[in-house]
Structure 1
Amino acid sequence: MSYQHILVPVDDSPISYAAIDHALELAKLCQAEVTILSVVAVDPYVGVDFYKVAPSITEHFMEAEANAKAQLHDITMSFDRENIEVNSKIFHGNPAEGIIHVADEVGADLIIMGSHGRTGVKKLVLGSVAQSVLSQSPIPVMVIKHQSS
């Protein structure tokens, strides 16, 4: 199977960088285009007006956006060095929904993402973005699992 367009959602965790490494190697083999995605999560329980009047919240989101842009720039440079066509996107909202939405938007035919490997109560409370994407995605999803040492 050969892939044409790979979507790689990232955060600032080591497992995201493991997913990037896998995507880089697979993109070289398939000569695929890659889109790197960073999702800036927005709390759905807080009203928009609150963000406008709460400078600390606004500052937090501005900082998150700046960090996402810097991270995406650094990652895209590694693909550029390998002459792999790469794009980057930032999505604001729910991570799993954003990943599915952007995969459809860019015409991805594979998603490669890391899984933090949460289990039990942590998974129940925090949810699992990877699990949500796996259950909702109409395209293949490669999950790079957290390696415990």
Structure 2
Amino acid sequence: MTIVVGYVNNPAGHAALDRGIVEAKKDDLSLVVVNASRSADRSDAYRLGEGEIKSVEDYLSRSGVQSQVLMRGSEYDPAEQILDAAAEVGAELIVLGTRKRTPVGKFLLGSTIQRVILEAVCPVLCVKSSH
């Protein structure tokens, strides 16, 4: 079975990745790290560059967990990309990092995490960063 981690290069993303590794090791599961963005090019600030991808892959390799990094980027909402990846791999768990947002910020920008929680067919674990 597989765990899907929604990852962006920020403290919340790092917390999700670390927790995903812990959960994968605990149950001997593989890990699929999804970098979902609104654009297939580098214009989206959440889209990982080649150096960042290599850094994540190296980190995962050192963890000893069987893993892969999926780069998504399309006209689809990031939540939909994470949900699609989870469906494709038959995810047992989705791990997401959270960050503090104002109520207005949530209203104006929507909430990827909220949509994943409401629409996922497997459990969703949300973790906070310590920063």
CA RMSD of aligned residues (A): 2.2
- Over 3 Å counting, the alpha-carbon distance change for 1:84 and 1:5 in structure 2 is same
Q: State the match for 1:90 in structure 2.
A: 71
Which of 26, 32, 35 aligns to 2:32? It is 35
Which of 93, 99, 103 aligns to 1:120? It is 103
Amino acid at match of 1:33: S
- Over 3 Å counting, the alpha-carbon distance change for 1:66 and 1:146 in structure 2 is closer
Task: Kindly provide the CA deviation profile for residues 67-89 of structure 1, in whole angstroms up to 9, marking residues without a partner as x.
Answer: 1x432321222221232100111
Instruction: Output the TM-score relative to the length of structure 1.
Output: 0.76
Q: State the match for 1:103 in structure 2.
A: 86
**Secondary structure of 2:91's partner?**
coil
Greater CA radius of gyration, 1 or 2? 1
Deviation at 1:138, TM superposition (A): 0.7
Give the Cα separation in 1 of the matches to 2:9 and 2:51: 11
Deviation at 1:117, TM superposition (A): 2.4
Structure 2: gaps (5+ residues): none
Deviation at 1:113, TM superposition (A): 0.6
Q: State the match for 1:72 in structure 2.
A: 53
**Secondary structure of 1:29's partner?**
helix
Structure 1: gaps (5+ residues): 43-57
